[in-house]
Amino acid sequence: MVNLFLIILVVIAVIAYIAYKIKQNANAEVENIVEQDNQTYTLDKMIAFIKRRLDEITKVNLYDIGLSEEELKRRKNKKYELKKALKGCTYGDVNDKKYIKELIYDLLAKEYGVTETNISRSIPFDIPSLLTGQDKFDILIHEYKKEFGYEALGEMIKKYNLDDMKYVQGDTKPCYVITDEEIDHIYENENFHLTFQDKLEIVVQRIYQKYKGYSSIDEVRDMNIDGVSGGVSGLPESFLSQVAQTDADYLTQIVDAKVPRACDSIWIMFHGKSIRLAFLSFGTEAELKRVCQNIYKYNNPGQLSDTNGYKVNEMKDGSRVVVVRPSMSETWAFFVRKFDVQKATLEQIVRFEGKEEAIALLRFLVKGARIISLTGEQGCRKNNNAYGND
């Protein structure tokens, strides 16, 4: 009886020791990952941490941990769900995106040690003069989404008349553009008070869009607008490289004049108007290329290669996406056309003088089951009525 009791004590002691070592190793692993220095809470460092942790979570061998059958089954389901979400969020699935962002939020708050005092090292929330146009836009969209959801961008454009034509310095004709100055004005006018949770959610969104999302257009693409495109204007990198080799002075003039590059090109289609978001940029051609390589991948349409330089496909939410690459085009570019815009009435679409006769004619043609051809340039709202589409 005494021997049996001693055996039980030894077994319990061994199990406790093993559990302690496993926990100690896990803690040491996290401490090694989060090695403190002056750059610890920058976006680049946090992105590197999130990549490593998610890679560890998805690749861990659950059979080596010594879990019970029930716990093993639960952990396997969570691992499968995470792998599925990591794949689905690159297709534009907003539910998978939400799942990944919540996981990133927990990892930063519980493991990485992000607090109220150090979060401003990633984005200078407390010093407005240091905030970039993208920083302010991210804050504005985050706050507007609380009230308007996916109508946030549209409501902001309507409130501040951002879809009006305006003159930009250096241009001889007015154009549709939203500038840094307008974003600065809106940010100062709104004067939002951000809690720590708000700040962390904005940082999480920035990390997500650089890791698994669509860079600067990630939140814009989710909005209820007619479409978004990137890389469709501006100077391509190939041209700048050629100029740098042949005429350095001309290249200097281009840089001094702040001529937009292809990677600075972000446009949205809003109520049939093509509006350039001058305050947003992909930053580098490599980032634009990454977005182009991921945005068309839903349902495995095939490889975008030099011999097959374009792809036409759908995203998971039904949006139509077209992607092109060199050498078919001068630069990497994509066009996303969304079809979730609310239907408009004929009276809203047809606005010219004498529209009553045109509307009456259309109605009689439809009632008579006549064949109708609707033609026009892109963005002229051919598909926003109940009688036909493009």
pLDDT tens digits for range 166-185: 888 767 788 999 999 999 99
| Whole-number Å distance between alpha carbons of 29 and 21 | 12
In terms of domains, do 333 and 356 share one?
no
Task: Note if the bond before 68 is cis, omega within 30 degrees.
Answer: no
Residue 32 has pLDDT above 50, yes or no: no
In terms of domains, do 380 and 285 share one?
no
In terms of domains, do 310 and 373 share one?
no
* Neighbour-count burial for 319-331, b at 16+ CB within 10 Å, e otherwise: bebbbbbeeebbb
What distance lies between CA 283 and its chain's CA centroid? 14
Q: Is the pTM of this model over 0.85?
A: no
- State the chain's mean pLDDT as an integer: 84
Q: Domain of 4? A: 1-32
In a domain, 235, yes or no: yes
In a domain, 179, yes or no: yes
In terms of domains, do 246 and 382 share one?
no
pLDDT, one tens digit per residue, over 278-301 is: 999 998 999 999 999 999 999 989
Residue 27 has pLDDT above 50, yes or no: no
Query: Which one, of 126, 105, 106, 102, lies nearest residue 116 by Cα?
Result: 126
Residue 151 has pLDDT above 50, yes or no: yes
In terms of domains, do 27 and 158 share one?
no
In a domain, 381, yes or no: yes
In a domain, 55, yes or no: no
Q: What integer pLDDT is reported at residue 390 of this predicted model?
A: 38
Positive or negative, the CA dihedral 309, 313, 316, 320 is positive
Q: Can you point out the beta strands (E) in 165-209?
A: 177-178
Total domain count, the chain: 3
DSSP 217-234: GHHHHHSSSSEEEESSSS
In terms of domains, do 308 and 360 share one?
no
In terms of domains, do 186 and 231 share one?
yes
* Neighbour-count burial for 28-53, b at 16+ CB within 10 Å, e otherwise: eebeeeeeeeeebbeeebbbebbeeb
Q: What integer pLDDT is reported at residue 387 of this predicted model?
A: 42
Q: Can you point out the beta strands (E) in 183-245?
A: 227-230
**Average pLDDT for residues 185-194, to the nearest whole number?**
94
**Average pLDDT for residues 216-232, to the nearest whole number?**
93
Cβ contact 206:218 at 8 Å = no
Largest Cα separation within the chain, whole Å, is: 105
Q: What integer pLDDT is reported at residue 388 of this predicted model?
A: 42
Among the ranges given (65-74, 193-202, 315-324), the one the predictor scored with the smallest mean pLDDT: 65-74
Cβ contact 233:267 at 8 Å = yes
Highest mean pLDDT among 58-72, 221-235, 355-369: 221-235
In terms of domains, do 28 and 174 share one?
no
| Whole-number Å distance between alpha carbons of 295 and 320 | 10
In a domain, 50, yes or no: no
Residue 384 has pLDDT above 70, yes or no: no
In terms of domains, do 8 and 146 share one?
no
184 Cβ contact partners less than 8 Å away, ≥ 6 residues apart: 133, 136
In a domain, 71, yes or no: no
In terms of domains, do 252 and 214 share one?
yes
Cβ contact 183:137 at 8 Å = yes
In a domain, 100, yes or no: no
Residue 257 has pLDDT above 70, yes or no: no
In terms of domains, do 314 and 379 share one?
no
In a domain, 6, yes or no: yes
| Whole-number Å distance between alpha carbons of 291 and 285 | 10
User: What separation in angstroms does the CA of 148 have from each of 90, 133, 183, 186?
Assistant: 24, 21, 18, 17
Q: What percent of the chain has pLDDT over 90?
A: 50
In a 3-state reduction of DSSP, which class is residue 34? coil
Q: What integer pLDDT is reported at residue 19 of this predicted model?
A: 60
In terms of domains, do 172 and 313 share one?
yes
Phi, psi of 273 (to 5 degrees): -105, 130
